[in-house]
Amino acid sequence: MKIVVIGGSGLIGRVLIEILQAKNHTVPSASPRTGVDTLTGRGLAEVLAGADTVVDVTNSPSFADDDVLKFFTTSTRNQLAAERDAGVRHHVALSVCGSDRLPESGYLRAKLAQERLIEQGGVPYTILRATQFFEFLAPIADSAFDGTSVRVPSATMQPIAAHDVSAALADVALAEPRNGVTEVGGPERIRMDELVRRVLAARGDERPVLADPQARYFGTPLDDGSLVAADGARLGTTRLADWLRQTAR
């Protein structure tokens, strides 16, 4: 199969390509680095010629509400139009668990808008929603630092290793389109303040971490059901302690 990975130079895309190539598939990486720009459509027709499946793992360079909405809607419309022209049989997109539950977050509103375009886009599809990545917990802590302490919500999270997300995407890409949504989460549910505290401690970062029920996450309040995968979702295999050991090495 020819499986085009849009955003193939990023955290998820690089590993996804390695997994699929190891299974003897042809897997072009499509990104501005390879001459493909989904915001203008440049290079899409060429890279999608003969493609069976497209996997979109792109992300917006700006998380400002207007910017992120424009990115995901413009990029998705251009991809779907090019896929219809090329006869692509399966569009796979990576989204976020909670995108349909947290409308106060501009980022998650944009991801939900992306999902709706895919549902109406005329290309058979599967949307894989994933929980937050371990790899982003330290940046979340940095964004929540008020100069004295790191204030994060006390809600439960279900974080997952990026590699486990790539493995789930590979399986989705090789399966038949679901024309629906499926989810993947980490193997543990842990309060956000505890997660951030353990990640910072492993890095030797002594900033105090405070659980603040009023703190917001990408602009939205949370509860214990906001950022977890649905019952029966696929679970990754990497636990937080495993990931911390791996990153320490």
As a whole number, mean pLDDT of residues 215-228 equals 92
DSSP 123-178: S-EEEEEE--BGGGHHHHHHHTB-SS-EEE---EE--B-HHHHHHHHHHHHHSPP-
Span 181-197, mean pLDDT? 97
pTM over 0.85: yes
pLDDT in tens, 75-94: 999 999 999 999 999 999 99
Instruction: State the pLDDT at residue 115.
Output: 98
Q: How many separate domains does the chain show?
A: 1
* Res. 223 pLDDT band, cuts 50 70 90: very high
Please, what is the average pLDDT of the chain?
96
Confidence of residue 11 (pLDDT cuts 50, 70, 90): very high
Q: What's the pLDDT score for residue 172?
A: 98
Domain at 74, CATH number: 3.40.50.720
Quick count: other Cβ atoms within 10 Å of Cβ 203? Answer: 13
Per-residue pLDDT of 125-173, as tens digits, reads: 999 999 999 999 999 999 999 999 999 999 999 999 999 999 999 999 9
Range of the domain at 214: 3-248
- CA dihedral sign, ordered 84, 80, 53, 38: positive
pLDDT bucket at 34, cuts 50 / 70 / 90: very high
Q: Can you tell me the distance from the alpha carbon of 29 to that of 185, in angstroms, rounded to the nearest whole number?
A: 25
pLDDT at 38 over 90: yes
State how far the Cα of 159 lies from the Cα of 48, in Å rounded to an integer.
Answer: 33
Residue 6 and residue 55 in contact, taking contact as beta carbons nearer than 8 Å:
yes
**Which pLDDT score is estimated for 219?**
85
